[in-house]
Amino acid sequence: MYHPSDQRYETMSYRRCGRSGLRLSSLSLGLWHNFGGDAPFQTARAMIHTAFDAGITHFDLANNYGPPPGSAESNFGRILQEDLKAYRDELIISSKAGYDMWPGPYGNFGSRKSLIASCEQSLRRMGLDYVDIFYHHRPDPDTPLAETMGALDHLVRSGKALYVGISNYGPAASQEAASILRRLGTPCLIHQPCYHMFRREPEQGLFSALEAEGMGAIAFSPLAQGILTDKYLSRIPEGSRAAKGRLRIDPEQDPRLEKVRQLSAIAEARGMNIAQLALAWVLRHPVMASVIIGASRPEQIRDCLGCLRGEELSSEELAAIDAILASAA
């Protein structure tokens, strides 16, 4: 039987999400890869235990995570029931709807029909009465934003979600979504963008929009799916996301890898590895409530926790990182 560590709240830091009352663990664990029906269940379970033992309270899911779609939620639901039932109030569990989930016109995007049905399905798969955060996963060019936000508001009012958020929305749509939700009386808590050293677009307007709206940000794929680690510097290792055909990278050609080598020198000078530096760099931004890592093994989670050690990045280090990232490789 699993007993979480008694020290689980001793080293993790917790950050306020925008202007809300909710604080998230600086690191969150995402279940996009390595938690589905194709992954070893005992490894998935060990990763959840490792995360919770270290004070990671936030677990990020979506209807379509697997493969097959839905299986990450089913597996997480089983781990919750068997190991974490007594700790439900210590957990922030999120799910999302918007990408392809079931056949026909209601299984994706952002209609009221799709979002409410999908949230019900997610709750059933996870064996939950409510999720802590429910997201619209991607913008829908065809559904009025008022309908999508109205569905999120309904989920909160009906007790199916405590908070709501959006993901992959641009700055203007985010502000519009936040203002519709504010009028409905349900604040938009959080935005989940892709943000890492090689993908800095959110700095061009999105982060300032979120700050203006009092929303928090939670970055996904902060390690560029593993590229911001040392794993691809010489070859594609067995068992990696690239080896499984889920990430395209050519270790001999990819210009980002020369930058990773140069960034590693900055990391080493502060006693970190490149993955830890990449996470500390994302967390430097004041709008960042948390960063969602993925992992294929418990040791990777333990390794990532090292990003919380030590001093904040200095202005000299940040300038050196900017210079590497801006250079032509």
Ligand X SMILES: NC(=O)c1ccc[n+]([C@@H]2O[C@H](COP(=O)([O-])OP(=O)(O)OC[C@H]3O[C@@H](n4cnc5c(N)ncnc54)[C@H](OP(=O)(O)O)[C@@H]3O)[C@@H](O)[C@H]2O)c1
In angstroms, the CA 158 to CA 145 distance is 20
Size of the site for ligand X (CB under 6 A): 29
45 counts as binding ligand X under rule CB under 6 A: no
Residue 66 engages ligand X in binding (rule: CB under 6 A): no
Q: Which of 122, 225, 264, 290 binds ligand X (CB under 6 A)?
A: 225
Q: Which is nearer to ligand X, 148 or 300 (CB)?
A: 300
C-alpha angle 306-288-28 in degrees, rounded to nearest 5:
50
Q: Is residue 167 near ligand X by the rule CB under 6 A?
A: yes
Cβ nearer to ligand X, comparing 148 with 192: 192
Distance of CA 219 to the CA centre of its chain: 6
Does 213 interact with ligand X (rule: CB under 6 A)? no
In the set 84, 119, 267, 275, which binds ligand X (CB under 6 A)?
275
Near ligand X by CB under 6 A: residue from 220, 249, 298, 308: 220
Start-to-end C-alpha separation, the chain:
51
Whole-angstrom Cα distance, residue 57 to residue 14? Answer: 9
User: Which stretch in 153-161, 207-215, 281-289, 300-308 sits in contact with ligand X by CB under 6 A?
Assistant: 300-308
Provide, rounded to whole angstroms, the least separation between the CB of residue 167 and ligand X: 4
Beta bridge partners of 92: 58
Query: What is the token pair recorded at 184?
Result: 């409905």
Burial class of residue 96 (count of CB atoms within 10 Å of its CB; 0-12, 13-18, 19+): buried
Residue 140 found at the interface with ligand X (CB under 6 A):
no
Looking at the Cβ atoms of 60 and 317, the one nearer to ligand X is 60
Cα(200)–Cα(30) distance, rounded to whole angstroms? 20
Residue choice 292, 307, 308, 321 for contact with ligand X (CB under 6 A)? 292
Q: What is the DSSP letter of 41?
A: H
d(CA 135, CA 174): 12
Q: Which residues contact 233 (CB under 8 A, 6 or more apart)?
A: 251, 257, 260, 261
Check residue 115 for interaction with ligand X (CB under 6 A). Answer: no
Regarding 143 and contact with ligand X (CB under 6 A), the answer is no
* Piece of the chain touching ligand X by CB under 6 A; list 153-161, 208-216, 226-234, 260-268: 226-234
Task: Sketch the per residue contact string, 8 through 37, with ligand X: x for CB under 6 A, - otherwise.
Answer: ----------------------xxxx----
Reported as type and span, the H/E element at residue 94 is strand 92-97
Least distance to ligand X, CB of residue 47, Å: 10
Nearest distance, CB of residue 116 and ligand X, angstroms? 19
**Omega before 187 within 30 of 0, i.e. cis:** no
> In terms of CB distance, is 122 or 296 closer to ligand X?
296
Residues 6+ apart with CB under 8 A from 168: 137, 138, 139, 192, 193, 194
CB of 129 to ligand X, least distance (A): 22
List the one residue out of 193, 242, 225, 203 whose CA is nearest residue 326: 203
- Print the binding letters for residues 239-268 with ligand X: x by CB under 6 A, - otherwise: -xx---------------------------
110 is a contact residue toward ligand X (CB under 6 A): no
Place of tokens 């934003």: 145
From candidates 107, 202, 294, 298, binder to ligand X by CB under 6 A: 294
| Residues 295, 34 contacting (CB under 8 angstroms) | yes
Question: Does residue 139 have a cis peptide bond before it, meaning omega lies within 30 degrees of 0?
Answer: no
Q: Does the footprint of ligand X cover residue 55 (CB under 6 A)?
A: no
Q: Which spans of this chain sit near ligand X (rule: CB under 6 A)?
A: 30-33, 60, 137, 167-168, 192, 220-226, 229, 231, 240-241, 275, 292-296, 300, 303-304
